[in-house]
Each structure stands twice: as C-alpha cells, then as structure tokens.
Amino acid sequence: MATYPTKRLRRLRYNSIVRDLVRETTLTKNDLIYPMFVIHGENIKHEIKSMPGVFQFSIENLIEECKELVQLGIKAIILFGIPEHKDEQGSDAYSESGIIQRAIRAIKAEVKDLLIITDVCLCEYTSHGHCGLLKGEEVLNDETVSLLVKEAISHAEAGADMIAPSDMMDGRIAEIRKGLDDKGFQNIPIMSYAVKYSSGYYGPFRDAADSAPAFGDRRSHQMDIANGLEAIREAESDIEEGADIIMVKPAGAYLDIIKAVKDKFQMPTAAYQVSGEYSMIKAAGKLDWIDEERVMIESLIAIKRAGADMILTYFAKDVAKFLDKQ
Ligand code: PBG
Ligand code: ZN
C-alpha cells in the first residue's frame, strides 16, 4: 500500500469532472416522496406557520399542486388528511367519504403518473389526537389494529398505490397485509414506519396535521430515542409480517439507525426527513445564518449515504428545482 508522498488523496478532488466521476452517493428526483396535507373545505391554501413553503390544501388546490409536482418530475407523494369532523374512534379515517378517500379519487381522476402513498394512523382523526382507541389514558393495541386495517382497505379501495402505516401498534403489518389481500389488493405494497422514534422533531407536523395529543405523549408506542438495538427488532418484526419497504423516522439524527437497518436486512429502506428537520434548515436559511440550499442537499445526501433508498422530504420541490439548475 502506497503512503504519502506517493499516495495523495487530493488527486481525485483535482477538478469537478474528477469529483463527479468518483462520487459515491447521488440524489435524484426518483428518490423523493413529497408529503402533502389535504384539508376539508374549498379554496384553501393555508401555509403552515412553522413550515414555510408547506401548505394545507383543499382538494381542488391539491390537484393543481399535484400537477405542478408531476411537471417538476416528482413521482410520489404521501398524503395526510385533516377531516371536517373528529371523534373518539377517528371515523373519518376509514370512511368512504373521508378526506383522504375523496382526495385520492380526485387525484386519480385528474393527475397521471403520480404514485399516491397514504399514511395510515388515527391521530389526525381522533378528537383526543392519539394514534388509537383509548381506554382511560391507555392506547389500546389490538382494537386499534382492527381500525387501521379498515383504514388501509378504504385507502386501497379509493385507489391508493401504497399504504404506509405510521401508528407503531404491534402486529399491524400482518393484519393490514391480510386485510388487503382478502380484498384483492395483493399487489399494493406496504411501506412500514417500522422504526419510528418518539421525537421532538415532529412538532411542526402537528400544526400541519392538527394532530397534537390532547394529553400525554406517544411514548407508549413510539420508540425511545436512546435505543438502537430495538430498532433492529422493530424492523425485523415488520419484515416478518410482510412489509415491503421499511422506514426509519426521523432521519438526520438517526443516520446510525438507517445504516444499521440497511446493513442488517438489505431491504428497500426509506427515511423520513421530518417536519422539524425541515423547519430548522428553513429557519436558519431565512435568517441567513446558513446557506439553505447547500445544507438542504447536504442533509439529504447524508441520509442516502447512510443507506436510504428513498426519502420522504418537505424539500422535494426545492430539490427538484435545484437539480434542474445543475
Ligand atoms: C402520524 C404521523 C406523524 C408524522 C408522520 N405521521 C406525527 C406523529 O407521530 O406525531 C410526523 C411527520 C413529520 O414530523 O414530518 N402518526
Ligand atoms: Zn399517529
């Protein structure tokens, strides 16, 4: 093995053409999934205060936005719904006339070539903001899973292309897979939020989705931020239960987890760069304390370098515009 002065690592950084040749990690439009918020009502395009550039759209405006995404070359979205009416069981989540079900049908009727992924959880639909049915202050597991199965099936019936359960109940992937298969949706993939931490980085999302819990927190089902080995057990369960894609969430502060999960299972792996990650970069960029575009790309390259095959990110449109300039 050569050593200095024969060996000079700077030779491959000599100019940008050489650097491009040896680059190990790339970011393309194919890697991006854009999260979107759809709200009941008409003519609404409401910017989320803590997430500049991210909006709640009523259905007709959502469609216009989807058309713009397709023009930008973004190929996949994940939908979150804010219903007109919330109740203890989160009924709108699995109603045929629910906000997501209507949004899916409308997009499918008017927009081609856009993959629709749906987030499956109850917290946007329950009056108490918890991810499942409550008994006192306890989030019930098995009873919640039955409702999540109904929610997943109703999304598929409306035309969803992929189902993404984000609730973190035990055993839900197996039940959802069985429910989908029984209804003839064998070909609809499941992207499981397999490794989802109980994170402070979700703060801005809860403004966007109006889903903050009325009391307590989500620590009885989402993972403890201090645990890494448990991530392997969570991912393993969901893979055994039939998940097609496994997700780690949040992304930037959990690069070690993304890498561990990818190395161990070699499965298609998604990472969710969550609302707080987006908002921090946006805020510092607006203050001119960092170069927003540069840090945006750096944050996403880091997530891919750790092993993610795809990234759910609120920066998707900004990235597409950036890539078009290159
Ligand atoms: C719903 C859900 C959440 C996010 C995605 N799906 C919120 C939560 O668990 O409280 C967070 C996404 C983000 O912060 O961008 N369970
Ligand atoms: Zn939830």
Ligand closest to Cα of 223 equals: 1
| pLDDT the model gives residue 224 | 98
Residue 22 included in any domain = no
| pLDDT the model gives residue 250 | 98
Range of the domain at 236: 27-325
Residue 19 included in any domain = no
Environment of ion ligand 2 (residues, CB < 5 A): 121, 123, 131
User: Catalytic: which of 49, 112, 249, 304?
Assistant: 249
User: Catalytic: which of 196, 262, 304, 317?
Assistant: 196
Euclidean distance between CA atoms 322 and 19, whole angstroms? 19
Residue 15 included in any domain = no
Residue 13 included in any domain = no
pTM above 0.75, yes or no: yes
Euclidean distance between CA atoms 74 and 86, whole angstroms? 32
Condensed to tens digits (0 to 9), the pLDDT of residues 288-325 reads 999 999 999 999 999 999 999 999 999 999 999 999 99
- C-beta of 202 in contact with ligand 1 (< 6 A): yes
Q: Report the CATH number that the domain containing residue 237 is assigned in CATH.
A: 3.20.20.70
Give 3-state DSSP helix, strand, coil % of the chain, rounded to 5: 45, 20, 35
Strands 138-139 and 134-135 come out as: antiparallel
Q: Which of 205, 220, 222, 303 to mutate to test the pocket of ligand 1 (most atoms within 8 A of CB)?
A: 205
Residue 251 included in any domain = yes
| pLDDT the model gives residue 1 | 83
List the chain residues with pLDDT less than 50. Answer: none
The percent of residues above 70 in pLDDT, for the chain, comes to 100
- C-beta of 121 in contact with ligand 1 (< 6 A): yes
Instruction: Say how many Å lie between the CA of residue 202 and the centre of ligand 1.
Output: 6
Residue 279 included in any domain = yes
| pLDDT the model gives residue 133 | 96
Euclidean distance between CA atoms 274 and 251, whole angstroms? 7
- C-beta of 119 in contact with ligand 1 (< 6 A): yes
Residue 5 included in any domain = no
Euclidean distance between CA atoms 121 and 128, whole angstroms? 13
Ligand closest to Cα of 130 equals: 2
What total number of domains does the chain contain?
A: 1
Position in ligand 1 atom list of the atom nearest CA 275: 15
Condensed to tens digits (0 to 9), the pLDDT of residues 192-224 reads 999 999 999 999 999 999 899 999 999 999 999
Verify whether residue 249 is a known catalytic residue: yes
- C-beta of 205 in contact with ligand 1 (< 6 A): yes
Residue 7 included in any domain = no
